[in-house]
Structures are given as C-alpha cells and as structure tokens.
Amino acid sequence: MDTKAIEEHVRGILIALGENPDREGLVETPKRVAKMYQEVFDGMNYTNHELAQMLDKTFAEDTTSAGSNQVVVMKDIDLFSYCEHHMALMYDMKATVAYIPKGKVIGLSKIARICDMAGRRLQLQERLGRDIADILGEITGSTDIAVLLEGRHSCVSARGIKKTDAKTRTVELRGRFKEEPALQLYLR
C-alpha cells in the first residue's frame, strides 16, 4: 500500500472540495487518512491464500468422544467492511460462520480474525462471504461451510436512497450446508 500517494491524493481531494489543506484542523488529515486506510484496508495487502497461511492454527479433532462430526457455529461476529462502489462503510455487521470439521478444528478467535481481515478490503457483501468461506475452507480442509452476513451499507443509508433501516443478508452455503437444509437450522 502506497501511503505517500494516499496522502497526496487526500490532500488533492481536500483542495478539490474547496478546502485549505494547510489550515490547522486539516493539516494532518492526509496523514491520518493514510494511517486509517492502512488499518481498515489491511486485508488488501494479502491474498486469501496468504491469509489462510497466516491464520492457520488448528487442533486435532477429538474423535474419541462425541466431538467428531460436530457442527461448529460461531455467531454474531461483529465486523466492518467498505463497499467498493462508493468506498462507503458497511456497518452494524454480524457474521455467522459454520463448518463441519474434517479431522481438525480451527481456533475460534481465528474465525473472527478471518472475518476481520476479509472485511478490511474494498468489498461487495457477497464477495466478503465467499472470501471468508474460501479462507476457512483452505485452513480446515472442510468443504461443508456456511457464512451468513447481515449488515447496513452507509451508501444505502446515509446517501442516495437513504433507507436507514434496510439491512442486507447474504448467505454462502457450501457442501452439506447446501445439500441438507436441516443443517441450516443451526445457523439461526
């Protein structure tokens, strides 16, 4: 990520807006925005494959007890993302991520980290769900994966059509979650 170029362009936008980029309140703004972009777009520094390698912390599934063939569901993972059309915030966002382990389980915090990093990109909500499923699938080797996302888009609520209550839900179902509707009950 070229932070110097981001700073220069933000300064240019301020000038185009008719602002004085050298006034006290704005003089550090290009630097602040570049720093913010480094944080909120950190996921753009890596491919899904690279994220899978970075977050690959799994444990052997305990098949000696009733632990085998369980459905693992992590609910209400809060996350942010940015729509690629307006570079506007997706907020009030919750993810539900489920998978059926194939011999190994992933640390739960890593599921939340996958969501965070996939969200830290210019995204479409639909692609965000696919990215999370791809990364989780690569780490766990599982093909039975579900990713539900629900959230508000500020490009829909704070501008344009201004539907402040509208929430968008996307559902990425793979493997048994797609084939066996009964498994979808666990996603509620």
Ligand X SMILES: Nc1nc2c(ncn2[C@@H]2O[C@H](COP(=O)(O)OP(=O)(O)OP(=O)(O)O)[C@@H](O)[C@H]2O)c(=O)[nH]1
Minimum CB distance to Zn ion smaller for 83 or for 135:
83
Task: Identify what 156 binds: ligand X, Zn ion, none; CB under 5 to 8 Å per kind.
Answer: ligand X
Q: What are phi and psi of 95, to 5 degrees?
A: -115, 140
Task: Identify what 125 binds: Zn ion, ligand X, none; CB under 5 to 8 Å per kind.
Answer: ligand X
Site residues for Zn ion per CB under 5 A = 83, 85-86, 88, 155
Q: Single out the residue of 86, 102, 101 nearest to residue 156, CA to CA.
A: 86
d(CA 69, CA 55): 22
Minimum CB distance to Zn ion smaller for 6 or for 156:
156
CB 105 within 8 A of CB 151: no
184 is catalytic: no
Measure CA 148 to chain center.
11
Q: How many angstroms separate the most distant Cα atoms in the chain? A: 68
180 is catalytic: no
Q: How far is the CB of 147 from ligand X (least distance, A)?
A: 14
Q: Which amino acid is at 90?
A: M
86 is catalytic: yes
Q: Please spell the DSSP secondary structure of 57-76, one letter per residue.
A: -EEE--TTSTTTT--EEEEE
Closest CB to Zn ion: residue number: 155
Looking at residue 188, the DSSP 8-state letter turns out to be -
Is 115 part of any known ligand binding site? Answer: no
115 is catalytic: no
153 is catalytic: yes
Site residues for ligand X per CB under 6 A = 83, 85, 124-126, 153, 155-156, 160-161
Write out the binding residues. Answer: 83, 86, 155
Catalytic residues: 83-86, 125, 153, 155
Write out the binding residues for Zn(2+). Answer: 83, 86, 155
